[in-house]
């Protein structure tokens, strides 16, 4: 089930729940319950999301860089790239002094 992020400062953002949960976890938040990111917390959230790696983690046991059956093309997106739409929304919300909410 997708997670919908909302703010009066930006269009709604739909994100696959697994990806949204991972990004929210890096912010110390959860996607399992409704949440809010207040404008005063946004600079720290932006710094955290913009500090995510811009490359994929190296596979530990995949031989010769071969993909395993568990690898999906969706898993080939670097964390910072995956966070980009949420970063844009947070920046717009911060500029407008509006919160970002999800799960409501």
Residue 60 belongs to a domain? no
Tokens encoding 21: 């949960």
Residue 66 belongs to a domain? no
Residue 16 belongs to a domain? yes
Q: Identify the pLDDT of residue 74.
A: 56
Q: pTM for the full model? A: 0.82
Cβ atoms 2, 14 nearer than 8 A: yes
What is the 3-class SS of 23-79, one letter each residue? HHHHCCCCCCCCEEECHHHHHHHHHHHHCCCCCCCCCCCCHHHCCCCCCCHHHHCCH
Residue 64 belongs to a domain? no
Residue 68 belongs to a domain? no
Q: Identify the pLDDT of residue 2.
A: 93
* Containing structural domain, residue 85: 3-54+73-102
Q: Identify the pLDDT of residue 44.
A: 97
| Alpha-carbon Rg for the chain in angstroms | 15
pLDDT digits (tens, 9 = 90+) for 43-75: 999 999 999 998 877 766 555 555 555 555 556
| Burial class of residue 7, CB neighbours in 10 A (0-12, 13-18, 19+) | buried
Domain count, the chain: 1
Q: Which of 27, 37, 42, 28 is nearest to 5 (CA)?
A: 37
Tokens encoding 31: 């996607």
């Amino acid at each position: 089930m997708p997670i919908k992020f909302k703010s009066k400062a930006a269009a709604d953002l739909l994100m696959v729940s697994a990806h949204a949960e991972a990004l929210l976890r890096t912010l110390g938040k959860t996607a399992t319950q409704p949440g809010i990111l207040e404008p005063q917390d946004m600079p720290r959230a932006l710094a955290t999301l913009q500090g995510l790696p811009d490359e994929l983690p190296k596979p530990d046991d995949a031989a010769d860089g071969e993909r395993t059956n568990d690898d999906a093309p969706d898993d080939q997106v670097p964390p910072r790239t995956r966070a980009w739409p949420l970063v844009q929304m947070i920046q717009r919300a911060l500029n407008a002094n509006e919160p970002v909410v999800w799960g409501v």
